[in-house]
Structure 1
Amino acid sequence: MAVTAEVDVAAMLRDPHDTYARLRELGSVVHVPALQRHLVVGFAACRAVEADQATYSADVGGSGATMARALGATPMLRRDDPRHAQERAPINPGLRARSVRASWAPRFEHNARLQLEVLRGHGPERAELDRDYAAPVAARNLVDLLGLREATPEQMERWSHAFIAGVGNLGDDATIWARCDDAQREVDDHLDALLPHLRRHPDASMTSALVNSGLDEAAVRANVKLTISGGLNEPQHMVTNTVWALSRHPDQRDRVLADPALWPVVFDEALRWLSPIGMYPRETTRATVLDGVELPGGAALGVVIGAANRDPAAFGHPDRFDISRPERAHLGFGSGVHLCPGHWAARIAIGEIAVPLLYAALPGLRTDPRRDEAWSGWVFRGLTTLPVTWDPA
């Protein structure tokens, strides 16, 4: 049986890493009654879960049911193979590294430069990186990737926040459902016009790939909404996380500024150290043993990659941000068949374009300690406010 532990959820929302360290000391799989699930906090155990979808299903109750409610149908993220592979196959070719560089990198740079002028316009005394750059850049990129031609970045941000709140609405809050339903109707209104157009005039967008793949329309709509819910959060937070990390490690910031070839390494280490997607659910399909812990069939699991990515059994000095550490795959984008399909888009759009552009355009870019910053979350975690400054021209 798993060790049982209590956690302070409010403290985890502020900063979960002390809790993660305590749980890892108890075992790689810990039962947490307050969260009504077993938390998988060890690196090897998380990898084992993702390697065996026959035993650890993505088609879960609880948050799986709220995701279907939030998005109007069950998307690929809450399906196992072969259905998961069938729904994912249409978008895979367009999200490979070569395709992203050829089709999307110029647009990503255009969006970043457009928003850079907004950030610069606020000046080094008033600029706030999340509001003025990170969130709008991620939203603009997502509008383009999905081909939602009539949608605005502001709408994309609002829809994403509403869907994420709905997916996590285990308390059945009516206000959250009302916001979520409004977002669902608005996205469906856009798709009502867009899907027939894309059937006649296919393009390079993800929505075009989905609608021309032979999938039923409910699956197309659910997976567009899934991409809206998840495709903004991680890229947005990776902009602010990276700047925050480099501001606290000026020696490593100076290294990458002297050698821009290190930017992909910086992105990967920031993703490991400050995992924006901290946890996702799985459910056992049968009685099993995970890293020595007996689990019954139907057990609700939380795969805590935010904890696994700082597991001392996998990474030396894991609580340090260190771009010199030996290369080892982390779990920032998940793993196995559910590895995030947009990982190359995020790496290129943020790690190779949006963040390097900031440092090239704004000499001395750093966080501004004169103004307050704010973090939030552990299931999804990131900076919600990050004041920045730079050297005057």
Structure 2
Amino acid sequence: MSNAPVFEIEPQAFWRDPYPTLKRMRAKAPIAYVPQLGATLITRRDDIFAEEKRVEVFSSDQPQGLMTVLMGQNLMRKDGVDHAAERRAIFPTVSPRTVKEVWTEQFRLATTRILDDLAAGANCDLVRDYAMPVSGEALKAITGLTQITAAEMDRVSQGMIDGCANYAGDPQVEATCHDCTAAIDRYITERLPALRATPDHSLISVQDRAGLSEAQLRANVKLAISGGQNEPRDAIAGTVWALLSHPHALARVRAGEVSWLAAFEEYGRWISPIGMSPRRVATRYERDGIVFEPEDRVFLMFGSGNRDETVFTNPDAYDLDQDNSGAITFGAGPHFCAGAWASRALIADVALPLLFDRFPGLALDGETEFGGWAFRGPLRMPVRLI
């Protein structure tokens, strides 16, 4: 076990708002063992940036990790040539060219239909009624699981990410996760014959044509759903909340002084939708007097690195003038998020501008509650549609 200093946390408070605790950790114990999480946390941005690339030490291959046990060994849980091979296999689905030529127009059409439905009412929960279906419809297209509803996509995604963050070992959370992964397997089985008959750019189709085994195919679709639903959902709703909470920032974006992409990227730095990534120590390693022993569990705390006071001038604020080029929202190494281009297109080119164009007087209509530390976003967000 690592000889890192022990840092105690209060789990419920950490879930409600991890940032005050992470700030204390960066100042007092930037590499620390947290017994409540059973892991050693690396919290400073430059440490994370360097160590994420050291895959021979901080390995993504985690046979006993929650994601592997619950979802199968996807490309995110592989390193080196195995990871690179599967990443190449899925690239035709998520490449910048495919996003531009195939997915963006589909995103726009689906989002317009959702906005048409919302226009019939005077208010809504922006998370449930807009961000969730926009993200879900996009993910249905990208994965190829077009036969399910956006709500079902959200359900199975949430079940899996709750399972992957279930470090307390709650049996009900685990059971729900198993139910969700079984459902996804059924949906893949339903769609495979049609996609083999009529191939397309979807993740199922592209992997199948690349010759990946069915186990690999299924594990990677589950990976795409576990991250590809909640991250855009939380980033869409969260960025809208940030802009409505900072009217001057919204006015600048609307005036064309700042892009929608910049507004989203500053939100992703400030409140990281994916707050951490786990690693397994593969070989003994020492850094700054702290020894990491084989099989130690390590969390790279992206959300903490994105608020590092030594990197960002105004780390705890939503500041569109801030240089956030050092942000590690999508990761920093070989496991940089493969879906980053699709996320940027969906959020910055479609979901944000179309929403504010349709409802120019959009306003908050009550308290917005946030939750989570491994995955973080608004839980509910009442708004008036004006």
TM-score of the pair, normalised by structure 2: 0.95
Instruction: Specify the SS of the correspondent of 1:378.
Output: coil
Instruction: Specify the SS of the correspondent of 1:34.
Output: coil
Partner of 2:231: 234
Partner of 1:84: 83
Task: Give runs of aligned pairs for residues 1-393 of structure 1, distance below 5 A.
Answer: 1-60=3-62, 64=65, 66-71=66-71, 73-123=72-122, 126-259=123-256, 262-368=259-365, 371-391=366-386
Question: For 1:339-383, what per-residue CA distance to the aligned partner results, in whole angstroms no more than 9, with x for missing partners?
Answer: 010001000101121011111111122322xx2322111111110
> Cα offset for 1:390?
4.3
Gaps of 5+ in 2: none
Q: Which amino acid aligns with 1:5?
A: F
> Cα offset for 1:171?
4.1
Q: Which amino acid aligns with 1:380?
A: F
Which stretch has the larger CA shift, 309-318 or 24-33?
24-33
Gaps of 5+ in 1: none
Would you say the 8 A contact 1:243–1:366 is kept in 2?
no
> Cα offset for 1:61?
5.5
Instruction: Specify the SS of the correspondent of 1:357.
Output: helix
Instruction: Specify the SS of the correspondent of 2:312.
Output: coil
Count of residues in correspondence between the two structures: 384
Q: Distance in 2 between the 1:6 and 1:214 partners?
A: 47
Mark the CA change 1:3 to 1:177 in structure 2 (over 3 Å): closer, same or farther: closer
Question: For 1:176-227, what per-residue CA distance to the aligned partner results, in whole angstroms no more than 9, with x for missing partners?
Answer: 3332233223222222232233233211111111111111111101111111
Q: Distance in 2 between the 1:239 and 1:184 partners?
A: 25
Spell out structure 1 runs of 4+ moving beyond 4 A: none
> Cα offset for 1:136?
0.7
Q: Which amino acid aligns with 2:106?
A: R
Q: Which amino acid aligns with 1:338?
A: H
Instruction: Specify the SS of the correspondent of 1:243.
Output: helix
Would you say the 8 A contact 1:367–1:386 is kept in 2?
yes
C-alpha RMSD of matched pairs (Å): 1.7
Mark the CA change 1:290 to 1:93 in structure 2 (over 3 Å): closer, same or farther: farther
Q: Distance in 2 between the 1:280 and 1:115 partners?
A: 32
Q: Distance in 2 between the 1:61 and 1:318 partners?
A: 36
Question: For 1:283-315, what per-residue CA distance to the aligned partner results, in whole angstroms no more than 9, with x for missing partners?
Answer: 211121235533222221111111000001111
Q: Which amino acid aligns with 2:109?
A: H
> Cα offset for 1:43?
0.3
Q: Distance in 2 between the 1:180 and 1:139 partners?
A: 18
Q: Distance in 2 between the 1:243 and 1:146 partners?
A: 26
TM-score of the pair, normalised by structure 1: 0.93
Would you say the 8 A contact 1:243–1:367 is kept in 2?
no
Q: Distance in 2 between the 1:282 and 1:254 partners?
A: 41
Mark the CA change 1:333 to 1:102 in structure 2 (over 3 Å): closer, same or farther: same
Q: Distance in 2 between the 1:127 and 1:327 partners?
A: 32
Q: Distance in 1 between the 2:55 and 2:16 partners?
A: 32
Would you say the 8 A contact 1:157–1:232 is kept in 2?
yes
Q: Distance in 2 between the 1:217 and 1:174 partners?
A: 28
Would you say the 8 A contact 1:100–1:345 is kept in 2?
yes
Instruction: Specify the SS of the correspondent of 2:102.
Output: helix
Instruction: Specify the SS of the correspondent of 1:375.
Output: strand
Question: For 1:44-63, what per-residue CA distance to the aligned partner results, in whole angstroms no more than 9, with x for missing partners?
Answer: 1111121111111011265x
Mark the CA change 1:122 to 1:301 in structure 2 (over 3 Å): closer, same or farther: same
Q: Distance in 2 between the 1:324 and 1:336 partners?
A: 26
Mark the CA change 1:388 to 1:337 in structure 2 (over 3 Å): closer, same or farther: same
